[in-house]
Amino acid sequence: MPSFLIYGNDFLVYQEAKRIESDYEAGNLLEGNTTNFDSSNFDISSFQQVINALPFMDPIRMIILDDVIKSNTTLGISILKHLENLPKSTLLIIKEKSDKISPNLTKDASEHLVVQKLQGPRNNRELNQWIKERASYKQLSISPAGIGALGNHVGTNLWNIDNELEKLSLYTQGNQITDLEVKELVYSNQDINVFSTIDAIIEKKRGIAYHNINGLLSDGHDTSSILRLIGRQLRLIATMKSLSGSGFPNSELKNKLGITSNYVIDKITAQSNQASNEKILFMFEQLVQTDLNIKSGTMDDKIALDIFLNQVI
């Protein structure tokens, strides 16, 4: 029976391991015939004892090593040395959720194991192709515009894309998923970051606010675009406060605010309930002054953003 080393994108590694288990009918083994090691419970002597054991009342035993090797090439080589006399009844799956495995180790491993490197999408074209194939695997119909919108909203996290496809399939009930459904149901990492930043400012959690702002900067947003995002959110919160107590249903509130997502409406409602009118006005005033300082050249943009956060938190 072959043994496997699969490494790379964590979602793809997980899916491939499940496929291997299914191919060898290892999903319903007796509990004593399945052993799982991870970095917290692995030691080489325990591993040696387990791999030499024969299955009880099952045709095979399955051993899974989950992120045990990581970047430890010495440990990897030590594991390989114990595979020369592996019983034919043992199914070994080594899963590594990283593509930074030593080439020398993978070369040596290929003498004992089936080695697979599973790389996630590296650009928009590959991401869109993956979404198309994943939707097809789930027997879902999704339009090209829907694929593009989903990729733009979620990014390259395949776990999140898979979850959103499940959610969209329940919503559309067999109908084609379009960009309209994606915009209605899927909120973006950018939205989450801005909401969380506003939450942190209102709740005076300085560390979280700075972390989220740095996340937006790392994602390619400049300070001006971050100020616009915060300004847009403040305007929505202020508008929601003016509509509070009106008795409008969510559908009417979405129309008045120009929003399609229930998630966004819920977040804005919660934030408008937390922040006073005085707090919102003060944040607006500081935001306008920060924007003026940047555009007039009187202050470095990142320093101005830092000062803004210090003033409003």
pLDDT for position 193: 67
Task: Give the chain's largest Cα–Cα span.
Answer: 78
Do 214 and 267 sit in the same domain of this protein?
Answer: yes
pLDDT tier, 157 (very low <50, low <70, confident <90, very high otherwise): confident
Q: Which of 65, 90, 118 is the last residue of a domain?
A: 118
For 60, the enclosing helix (H) or strand (E) is none
Do 276 and 221 sit in the same domain of this protein?
Answer: yes
For 106, the enclosing helix (H) or strand (E) is helix 103-109
CATH number of the domain bearing residue 167: 1.10.8.60
Residues with Cβ < 8 Å from 26, sequence gap 6 or more?
20, 34, 60, 62, 91
pLDDT tier, 39 (very low <50, low <70, confident <90, very high otherwise): confident
Model confidence over 182-208: pLDDT tens digits? 877 776 666 666 777 887 887 788 888
Do 181 and 202 sit in the same domain of this protein?
Answer: no
Q: How far apart are CA 88 and CA 117, in angstroms?
A: 24
CATH number of the domain bearing residue 279: 1.20.272.10
Do 17 and 114 sit in the same domain of this protein?
Answer: yes
Segment 264-277 mean pLDDT:
84
Residue-averaged pLDDT of the chain:
86
Do 213 and 260 sit in the same domain of this protein?
Answer: yes
Do 244 and 135 sit in the same domain of this protein?
Answer: no
> What is the extent of the structural domain holding 235?
189-312
pLDDT for position 81: 85
Higher pLDDT, residue 309 or 153: 309
Do 239 and 216 sit in the same domain of this protein?
Answer: yes
How many domains in the chain? Answer: 3
Q: How far apart are CA 268 and CA 237, in angstroms?
A: 6
Express as a percent the part of the chain with pLDDT over 70.
Answer: 94
* Chain center to CA of 123: 16
**Is 107's pLDDT higher than 90?**
no
Higher pLDDT, residue 105 or 264: 105
Return the axis-axis angle of helices 158-172 and 144-154, rounded to nearest 10°: 130
The answer to which of 89-98, 151-160, 186-195, 255-264 has the lowest mean pLDDT is 186-195
Whole-number Cα distances in Å, 212 to 115, 148, 200:
38, 25, 9
Do 114 and 136 sit in the same domain of this protein?
Answer: no
Q: Cα(first)–Cα(last) distance of the chain, in Å?
A: 61
pLDDT for position 188: 62
H helices then E strands: how many in the chain?
15, 5
Do 35 and 93 sit in the same domain of this protein?
Answer: yes
Whole-number Cα distances in Å, 309 to 70, 88, 221, 305:
38, 62, 17, 6
Q: How far apart are CA 82 and CA 85, in angstroms?
A: 7
Do 289 and 198 sit in the same domain of this protein?
Answer: yes
Q: Which of 185, 214, 229 is the last residue of a domain?
A: 185
161: nearest Cα among 297, 30, 32, 15: 15
CATH number of the domain bearing residue 84: 3.40.50.300
Do 156 and 181 sit in the same domain of this protein?
Answer: yes
Q: How far apart are CA 33 and CA 55, in angstroms?
A: 6
Q: Which of 70, 91, 118 is the last residue of a domain?
A: 118
pLDDT for position 4: 94
Express as a percent the part of the chain with pLDDT over 90.
Answer: 29
Do 174 and 284 sit in the same domain of this protein?
Answer: no
pLDDT for position 91: 92
195: nearest Cα among 276, 280, 291, 270: 270
